[in-house]
Amino acid sequence: MVKISLNIIACFKWVVDHEDIKVNPETNELMLERAGYRISDYDRFAIEAAVALVEQYGGSATAVTVGFPEAKKGLKDALARGPEKAIFINDPAFAELEPAQTAAILAQSINKQEFDLIICGEGSGDLYAQQVGPRLAEHLDIPCASFVRKITIEGRELIAERRVDEGLEIISMPLPALVTVLPEINSPRVPGLKDTLAASKKPVVAITKSDLEETWA
């Protein structure tokens, strides 16, 4: 296998753990006060895809997330899954962002990085709006493929096998590019103790609201 050395960014979201969500029997309202958080299940496939491609072709993987300051707890889990570093874009105002806002904030931060490929989950574990990936690609003016179940790199071309209504479709795009991946693309690894300990020593770049333009609002 020819090593290409790719700079890959995997985007992930810190969401409420659905297993902790309770329903108030009197009002039928969701009780989130005691709910914990976790990396969106869909984004675990994105992180695994990024790490697997780096293992196959060479390069580095970076995990990127937008969220409120407490979401920092999710960085260790993300880094334990293989990325070399993380970018944490955070502010208390980022707790309840719309997909359009998230995409704009990600674009401002990622645009300052060197990247060949951005990988997002097909949707998030809470809203599942399926908008952040395509909107992010639009902001960065790069090609985008959704519903991807297999990725191959040939030189500076990305070959994507994607699921469509009629079955499967194979397309090619020049790098840099963005893909949103389906769960069937892989089986995310489960971090071991060694991975978790190593994650604590990996670099995290912190970006706050003051570092961004106000065009995201």
pTM greater than 0.75: yes
Q: Dump pLDDT digits (tens) for 104-159.
A: 999 999 999 999 999 999 977 566 678 999 999 999 999 999 999 999 999 999 99
Separation between Cα atoms, residue 64 and residue 89, nearest integer Å: 8
Under a CB-based contact definition with an 8 Å cutoff, are residues 35 and 17 in contact?
A: yes
What region, left, alpha or beta, does residue 167 occupy, with left being phi > 0 and alpha being psi -120 to 50 degrees? left
Lowest-pLDDT range of 5-14, 20-29, 101-110, 120-129 = 20-29
- The whole-angstrom separation of Cα 107 and Cα 140 is 6
What confidence tens digit (pLDDT) does each residue in 31-78 have? 455 556 688 899 999 999 999 999 999 999 999 999 888 888 889 999
Q: Which two tokens stand for residue 197?
A: 């300990």
Buried b (16+ CB within 10 A) or exposed e, 171-203: eebebbbbbbbbeebbebeebeeeeeeebeebe
Q: Are 209 and 94 in contact (CB under 8 A)?
A: yes
The answer to whether the beta carbons of residues 119 and 10 sit under 8 Å apart is yes
Residue 160 has pLDDT above 80, yes or no: yes
pLDDT tens figures, 161-216: 999 888 999 999 999 999 999 999 999 999 999 999 999 999 999 999 999 887 65
Q: How far is CA 56 from the centre of its chain?
A: 19
